[in-house]
Amino acid sequence: MGRSRRTLPEELLLLALDPATGTTAQPQSLDLGLAGAQLVELALAGRIAPDGDRIAVVVPRPTGDPTLDCALELLRRRGAPVRAVHWIGGPRLGLRQTYLSHLERCGMVHAVAGQMCGVLPTTRYQATDTEISREIRARLDSAIRTGVPPDPRTAALAALAHAVGLGKHLYPGNEGRSSRSRLRDLIRHDPMGGLVAHAVMDVQNGAAAQPRRSPAPTPGRPAAGARPAPEPARGVPMQPRHGSMARAVAH
C-alpha cells in the first residue's frame, strides 16, 4: 500500500480533532473506532474479508503500513476468523496516541504542551493543514447533501463517524439533526464498514461481553453439551478461566 493515500484511521482521527481546543471528540469510543477503521482499511487493501460476523485473513502479505501490518499479523496468528466485536472490544493500548504521533511525524498536526490545573502536563494537537480536514469533511457533506451513494471509503468513514458518536460533533444542535440522520443512513452503502460500525456500537452497548444464550435445561438435568463443574482439590483454589478476547494493536 502506498503512502500517498491517507488511511481510514488517520481520516477518522482528523475528523475527531477539534481545531479550537486541540482535543479529540468522543475519546473513549474513538479508540474503538480506530480499531474498526483498521479492519476496514485492511479490507479495502484486499487483506481481510468478512465471514459472517467474523473477520478472515485472505491475503497475509504486508501492506507497507507498520500499524496496519501489526494488526494484520495479529489477525493472522489467530489461525481462524475472529468475531469483529471481539477484536474491536479488546484493550486499546495506546492506539489513539500511535496515530496522533504518526500524524505529527507526517506534519499534519503539531503537539502543543500545556498543563492542567497548573500541575499536570497535557498535550494538545493542532492541525497544521486545515485543508486536509476540510477535504475529508467535504466528502461527508457531499454524500449527505446529494444523496448520491458514496464510494466505499467515504461510506465506511461515515459509518465509523456515526458509530463513535461524531455526528453531534460534526453536525451539532437541532439544525444538524437531519444531517446526523443521513450520516447514520450512509452505513448501508459499505458492507464491511457497516459490519465494523455495528460491532463498535455493540461493544459500547456491552454486547461483546454477553454470552450467547443456551436452551433452558430440564429441571434436574444439565443443559445439552454442558459439563459439570469440577470440584477443586482440597486446599487448592479454582483458577479462573481466561477469555479469548483478541488483543488490540499497540505500539
Radius of gyration of the chain (CA): 21
Average pLDDT over residues 189-218: 75
CA distance 33 to 143: 20
Phi (first) and psi of residue 37, to 5 degrees: -65, -35
Please give the residue that has the higher pLDDT: either 244 or 154: 154
Phi (first) and psi of residue 165, to 5 degrees: 85, 20
Which residue type occupies 142? S
Alpha helix ranges (H) inside 84-231 = 84-88, 95-105, 130-146, 152-163, 167-170, 177-185, 191-204
At residue 111 the predicted structure's pLDDT band, cuts being 50, 70 and 90, is confident
Average pLDDT over residues 69-80: 94
Please give the residue that has the higher pLDDT: either 204 or 122: 204
At residue 9 the predicted structure's pLDDT band, cuts being 50, 70 and 90, is very high
Task: Identify the top-confidence range among 204-208, 211-215, 241-245.
Answer: 204-208
Q: Is the pLDDT reported for residue 250 higher than 60?
A: no
With a threshold of 0.85, does the pTM exceed it?
no
- Looking at every residue in the chain, the average pLDDT score rounds to 81
